[in-house]
Amino acid sequence: MSDDEGEVYAYSDDEGSDVDYAYGSDEDQDEQDHEIVNSYYEGEEFMQQNQLPEALEKMERVVGVAAERGGDDLRWCFKGLECIVMLLFKLGEPEKMLAAYERLLCYTSAVTRNESTDAINSVLDTISGATGSIVAQTYAKTLASTEGNERLHFTTMIRQAKAYLAQGDLKEVGRVIERLHQLCRNPDGSDDESKATYLMEVYALEISYCTHTCDMARMKEILPRTLKLNAAVSDPRIMGIIREEGGKLHMRQCQWSDAYSEFNEGFRAYQEAGNSRAKQCLKYAALSNILANSSINPFAATEAKVYQDDREVMAMMELRIAYDANDLPRFERTLEHKPNHILDDSFMAVYIEELRRRMREQVLLSITQPYSKMTLAHVAKELRLSREEIESLLVDLILDKRIKGQIDQIGGFVLLRPEGRSSSGKHAALARWADALQAGTGSGKCDEGEELLAAISSSLFAPFMSTTAAS
């Protein structure tokens, strides 16, 4: 090989002219490389400073130079277009934004699959709060371009349904869910369990849809299927949604213990996935825990201690402490304190009165414990309720067998029977008395029957002679 091989020369047509080495083209290429890179990062800096027009100008320069050069530089064209799409959306230029997005999708082959997925997700995140046709058009363009990428196509449809759900467009949500189910079915119409992960995502979405449409019958049908697939799918992001919605279903059916179990599992799943819904699920677990009269402290778990300094979680802890201490004034203050945001939660607001009732029942049980007879007026004064409300509470507690007693509405008092003086014991004593009397009639001996009569009389009237609370 000669020493000159591999070098490029430029010769003049004139004989004897000087020889010029053609190194200038490499220098021009380096300048263009620097221009693309510098323009891109300058544009990013303008974006961070919220100087959107200046950022847009820089990114358009990146796309113009990179598209002209082609080859490996198309990667910079893709990155620049991603920024342009988001800038145009923020600048309120929906038509230009859609045109730029369509162009971006044409360059997905210039980058890796992960890079294109991240870019598409970034764009969809950007428009997530938008309303109107721009959302539908953006998703339509995305779905059309991702048909060859099954996973991305599926997740895009999931996101589309969630976007419609957030907008309250339930008709479109139902339509997308049906299409998603078609992707996960066998030819005979049954669920394709080989696509368990996809199925769980569809069911999680459908459960949220049932919550919005109040279709509890459909939700009851879906939940057992999710538990069947739970062994095959361990994605905490999906299980968090399913467990939370399952807890809400149990709450609507007043199955407080089951609701607590579901919310607690949902909290753990969200916590594992790093989902911000973990805090909300913990609050719901605390709510259902009190309604279930559970002695378990939901804040004692290691996972829950992460939120011990959060104001809203601390408020729920305060409710639990007041409940355990039978401190009704403290309980009410915590509920009503606006910075705690307890009453602002639309889901929790439905159960606030039930929560108050549970607290009043707890206090009522506490104040009636030492007495065998109390006036209704005294109980009403202690709980700051009307006599009618006190009677209602007492009736529920008696029917639930949490209090053994009777209400005398005419006399205006409640008679509380201690365990040792239950009616069943009296009935047994009466039976023994009758047997003794029958036996004594034939022998002329009635002393034992008379002694038993005295014992029964004492048992029957003892509650009225016990300590009575002052009105």
Residue 464 pLDDT level (bands cut at 50, 70, 90): very low
Same domain, 425 and 396: no
End-of-domain residue from the set 87, 108, 129: 108
d(CA 316, CA 143): 43
As to burial, measured by CB atoms within 10 angstroms (0-12 exposed, 13-18 middle, 19+ buried), residue 411 is: exposed
**What would the pLDDT profile of 65-81 be if each residue is shown by its tens digit?**
888 888 888 999 999 99
Q: Has residue 294 been placed in a domain?
A: no
Same domain, 131 and 189: yes
Q: Has residue 52 been placed in a domain?
A: yes
pLDDT at position 346 over 70: yes
DSSP state of 347: H
Q: b/e string for 17-36 if b means 16 or more Cβ within 10 A? A: eeeeeeeeeeeeeeeeeeeb
Q: Could you give the residue ranges of the DSSP H alpha helices within 127-255? A: 133-145, 150-167, 170-183, 196-213, 216-229, 236-252
Mean pLDDT of the chain: 82
Same domain, 151 and 58: no
Pairing of the two strands 413-416 and 373-375 = antiparallel
End-of-domain residue from the set 48, 76, 108: 108
CA distances to 102, 143, 264 from 140, in Å: 11, 5, 38
Q: Has residue 17 been placed in a domain?
A: no
CA distances to 143, 144, 146, 162, 275 from 124, in Å: 12, 15, 14, 11, 19
Lowest model confidence (mean pLDDT) among 78-82, 246-250, 465-469: 465-469
| pLDDT at site 6 | 43
User: Domain range spanning residue 393?
Assistant: 371-418
Hey, what amino acid is at 182? Q
**74: number of Cβ within 10 Å:** 17
pLDDT at position 455 over 60: no
Residue 191 pLDDT level (bands cut at 50, 70, 90): confident
**What would the pLDDT profile of 25-34 be if each residue is shown by its tens digit?**
555 666 667 8
End-of-domain residue from the set 108, 135, 154: 108
Same domain, 121 and 160: yes
Same domain, 86 and 192: no
**376: number of Cβ within 10 Å:** 21
Q: Has residue 332 been placed in a domain?
A: no
Token pair for 331: 């309980």
**What would the pLDDT profile of 302-337 be if each residue is shown by its tens digit?**
888 889 889 999 999 999 999 999 999 999 999 999
C-alpha angle with apex 149: 144 to 152, nearest 5 degrees? Answer: 85
Lowest model confidence (mean pLDDT) among 194-198, 240-244, 282-286: 194-198
Same domain, 432 and 376: no
Residue 100 pLDDT level (bands cut at 50, 70, 90): very high
Closest CA to 203 of 194, 220, 214: 220
Same domain, 138 and 168: yes
Same domain, 193 and 138: yes
Same domain, 444 and 391: no
HEC assignment per residue over 218-250: HHHHHHHHHHHHCCCCCCHHHHHHHHHHHHHHH
Closest CA to 160 of 190, 136, 183: 136
**397: number of Cβ within 10 Å:** 18
Token pair for 216: 């509890």
Residue 212 pLDDT level (bands cut at 50, 70, 90): confident
Sorted by sequence, the CB contacts under 8 Å of residue 341 that are 6+ apart come out as 312, 315
pLDDT at position 177 over 80: yes
| pLDDT at site 1 | 45
pLDDT at position 157 over 70: yes
As to burial, measured by CB atoms within 10 angstroms (0-12 exposed, 13-18 middle, 19+ buried), residue 225 is: middle
Q: Has residue 338 been placed in a domain?
A: no
As to burial, measured by CB atoms within 10 angstroms (0-12 exposed, 13-18 middle, 19+ buried), residue 164 is: buried
Q: Has residue 257 been placed in a domain?
A: no
Same domain, 152 and 199: yes
**What would the pLDDT profile of 16-60 be if each residue is shown by its tens digit?**
444 444 444 555 666 667 888 889 999 999 999 999 999 999 999
Comparison of pLDDT for 269 and 427, the residue scoring more: 269
Q: Has residue 333 been placed in a domain?
A: no
Q: Has residue 255 been placed in a domain?
A: no
Same domain, 120 and 135: yes
- Here the CATH number for the domain that contains residue 383 is 1.10.10.10
**318: number of Cβ within 10 Å:** 19
CA distances to 181, 241, 278, 464 from 178, in Å: 5, 19, 29, 68
| pLDDT at site 54 | 94
What's the structural domain count of the chain? 4
Token pair for 371: 């007495």
Chain position carrying tokens 């029964």: 456
Token pair for 73: 């530089």
Same domain, 172 and 222: yes
**What would the pLDDT profile of 353-389 be if each residue is shown by its tens digit?**
999 999 999 899 888 888 888 899 988 888 888 989 9
**What would the pLDDT profile of 428-453 be if each residue is shown by its tens digit?**
566 666 666 666 555 555 555 556 55
CA distances to 294, 431, 448 from 426, in Å: 33, 9, 17
What's the average model confidence in pLDDT over 402-418? Answer: 84
